[in-house]
Structure 1
């Protein structure tokens, strides 16, 4: 087994390395996604409109589900798969930017996934707005070599065109529902309808050509809707759709409570993680209660909750009334990396730094962002930190033991502390913190993530879950874009989850 980022800097992807073969899988021309482009921002406006004028996704989702049921989808929305007594499946989230970081995940994903029964994409299959024309290079092409079905739950970006393309690809070509009646003039709903981004017409020949890249019957997955449950061997996998704003509607909430009943162990997959960045986000259900209330209820027998949306890996083993539930963030499947060095010293729900895991490691995250800003601002001598210096200053500021010890003799200088403060390490209050540079979602609105991250290491990841009657073995594998990690993907985290 190759070194991981917890073992060596080379295992993290730093230093001289042979580039991976992932570029051979990419199309000849890749359009770089830029959030500075006014056309991109305007097309992705529906999330903002939903927060200002009310979120219509619950009503739209209900109508889409009704269309699926009318077409013969099971009313309980449960997919039942016959699998061997021991089987495996893959999970990755936030895949679909269609650029080098996404394709860098593919060789390792295919290597570790060849003998698995199916895969699940947890959130944001297709950036920036989920349009049908993007599915060729952002879904069908990268995963054409994966031999089994791929199921998905939508993320907020998949909803920016009212989920139309997602329903066509994953839900048996479900058509868009009929337009709703026009709202009364000058109401909030009227303003929303006036400004709403509507789906563009689908190029049917282009979509058919994309589908031809995954033509085998064994590769096809047909879902009963944007939320579903899947029974496989001893476990039930429950996928929920959190829409534009990270909530679920009352109809889906009632289904979730119903499908969660019974003694079968369950794994939740959601577009909005319940524990992330050292905080608890229980995910409200319209009409009362939260998704985490359902997960925590002992009679529902949840053993894990895996969420996308945030583009890295995190794990929180939470003691819930004497039983351990693994809360996982798994959004590192291809989209631009969200920082981990901004995560404060963890103390949430009884989980401490000793129990918490993340990838990339905080020091690697800080080194990654220091180099980004050094290039973008043309100030490398000020910003660029070595991975050893970044690791050392993160340990100092957070008061933690680094997972990978910095090189002997590494000094934390005034410049190192200044860069760490400017880039938000530890979120310490103080004068420098008031001038903190954006390193998370706001960063993607100021700079083009694609143009800044076209060289390894990318710090992407995917999960493999091996299931037996007694336990689930969950492993997080790294994808850096370097050849060494393609040939032998390193394990960045591993946990065995008892089922009995």
Structure 2
């Protein structure tokens, strides 16, 4: 399915590679100078006439029909054994147009258990983003409808792993964020104490753990600002200050030797660590939105651990086994990837 980056060139590359179709775009009139359209024309990527040449050469190396696959469009549904997997295209803004919305309602009918795959997750960072459909309703309305039998909704976009087991009328729908396979790592220590749709902190799962995320970003800023001794926190220090600021039981105990000092509190605050709702916000260094927009391309690290992850689903007629595996870059964990989260979803 396409993500927001695929839409940076109006989906031309995606349609060419996956759907073998890239219709020529009609010429656009020149915008008036110094307008928003003029600025967009300067910054927006436009397809070039020779964009498909390398792809044509590569396809000659895979000429057999069994080596090629063409999907019908940027959204689709496929029956895979006992489940139906439904992939949707949420564009740049995390919305669905009326035509795709009508199609989604149609393919969601029936008793077969279903798994939704979407570019924009429906639950992320402790918030609900139901994904509006043009003309009325939301994607999450369709997922929650008991007549449609959805058991999970898996979204990307955010570069980490999160899971929210939401009770919907007596049944549990697993809402998963699984965008931690590449690029830089989105922080998890900025996620506030979870309380959304009946999901509390004890139900919520994430990778990396908040303490590991804070330790990673403290080392990153220590290198960037040449203040390693001040900024860098150990995993135990970061875990301890996370537990104090959020008032939670962390996924891994910080250890008896970990002390929360004035320095660790200052560093945690500067790096945007979430606080209890009653605490007022103070000055923060850019870690989330501004950091992602401006500095993230330079944040890739080549020293393990990488805090990447991948999702595996094993399906039987009785259940779906969903597992999040860590991909750290360490040899031992490459041979035997550790399971960071696991849940079994009965199909009924």
2:166 to 318, 325, 332: 318
CA distance in structure 2 between the partners assigned to 1:219 and 1:414 by the alignment: 60
1:176 to 20, 23, 31: 23
CA-CA distance at 1:204 after TM superposition = 4.3
SS of residue matched to 1:425:
coil
Q: Hey, what does 1:280 align to over in structure 2? A: 128
- Specify every segment of 5 or more residues in structure 1 that has no aligned partner in the other structure, as ranges: 1-152
Give the TM-score of the pair, scaled to structure 2.
Answer: 0.92
CA-CA distance at 1:218 after TM superposition = 4.7
CA distance in structure 2 between the partners assigned to 1:351 and 1:212 by the alignment: 51
Cα distance change of structure 1 residues 212 and 490 upon mapping to structure 2, 3 Å threshold: farther
SS of residue matched to 1:473:
strand
CA-CA distance at 1:454 after TM superposition = 2.2
8 Å CA contact 1:155, 1:271 repeated in 2 = yes
Per-residue CA deviation, residues 373-402 of structure 1 (Å, 9 max, x unaligned), is 000111001100001100111011111111
- Superposed counterparts of 1:8-157, under 5 Å: 153-157=1-5
Segments of 4+ moved more than 6 angstroms? 183-186, 212-216, 429-432
Q: Does 2:241 align with 1:390?
A: no
- Superposed counterparts of 1:55-454, under 5 Å: 153-171=1-19, 173-179=20-26, 196-208=44-56, 210-211=58-59, 218=66, 220-427=68-275, 433-450=281-298, 452-454=300-302
Give the TM-score of the pair, scaled to structure 1.
Answer: 0.65
CA-CA distance at 1:427 after TM superposition = 3.9
**Cα root mean square deviation, aligned:** 2.5
Q: Does 2:334 align with 1:486?
A: yes
CA distance in structure 1 between the partners assigned to 2:61 and 2:264 by the alignment: 48
SS of residue matched to 1:385:
coil
Per-residue CA deviation, residues 392-449 of structure 1 (Å, 9 max, x unaligned), is 1101111111111123211111100110111111245799943111112321333253
CA-CA distance at 1:456 after TM superposition = 1.4
Between 194-203 and 477-486, the greater mean CA deviation after superposition: 194-203
8 Å CA contact 1:273, 1:309 repeated in 2 = yes
Cα distance change of structure 1 residues 191 and 287 upon mapping to structure 2, 3 Å threshold: farther
- Superposed counterparts of 1:469-484, under 5 Å: 469-484=317-332
Cα distance change of structure 1 residues 265 and 397 upon mapping to structure 2, 3 Å threshold: same
CA distance in structure 2 between the partners assigned to 1:181 and 1:425 by the alignment: 45
- Specify every segment of 5 or more residues in structure 2 that has no aligned partner in the other structure, as ranges: none
CA distance in structure 2 between the partners assigned to 1:194 and 1:203 by the alignment: 19
8 Å CA contact 1:341, 1:394 repeated in 2 = yes
CA distance in structure 2 between the partners assigned to 1:286 and 1:353 by the alignment: 33
The number of aligned residues is 346
CA distance in structure 2 between the partners assigned to 1:184 and 1:204 by the alignment: 27
8 Å CA contact 1:183, 1:190 repeated in 2 = no
